[in-house]
Amino acid sequence: MKQAVVVFHLREGSDPDAARLAAAGPPFDPAEAGFTRLAVYVTAREVIFVLEGEEPLWSEDKLVSDFLRPALRERLDEWRELADVHTWPAQPLFVWEAPADE
């Protein structure tokens, strides 16, 4: 599996609203969109989205550019009220994983 991270920089004091949006879950079916795992972390300054799948960046790009998904567009508008969403995704340069017990 591949992993990508997207970071939104929150406006001051918007972390409670960001936590509410994150807890609501995505306005799409993650498996149908090509993800195997999604995680969202909220700090006082950022929201960190961790996307996992075969091609998480491609899946994310496809979702964001699909204007036929009004629920996703509405959710992105909500995020835009709280954060700078003009950030670039990043892929890990180093990952360590413990071997699976057999």
Q: What is the pLDDT of residue 68?
A: 64
In a domain, 90, yes or no: no
Q: Which helix (H) or strand (E) holds 75?
A: helix 70-82
Please state the rounded mean pLDDT for residues 71-90: 85
CATH number assigned to the domain comprising residue 71: 3.30.70.1090
Distance CA 94, CA 83 (A): 28
In a domain, 70, yes or no: yes
Q: Which domain holds residue 70?
A: 2-84
Q: Is the pLDDT of residue 58 over 70?
A: yes
In a domain, 30, yes or no: yes
In a domain, 99, yes or no: no
Distance CA 29, CA 2 (A): 19
In a domain, 102, yes or no: no
For the stretch 7-56, pLDDT in tens is 999 999 999 999 999 999 999 999 988 999 999 999 999 999 999 998 88
Q: What is the pLDDT of residue 12?
A: 95
Q: Which residues pair with 39 in a beta bridge?
A: 50
Q: Provide the whole-model pTM.
A: 0.82
Residue 64 or 27, more confident: 27
**38-42, 67-71, 75-79, 92-96: which has the highest mean pLDDT?**
38-42
In a domain, 68, yes or no: yes
In a domain, 101, yes or no: no
In a domain, 67, yes or no: yes
Q: How many domains is the chain partitioned into structurally? A: 1
Q: What is the pLDDT of residue 4?
A: 86
Q: Is the pLDDT of residue 88 over 90?
A: no
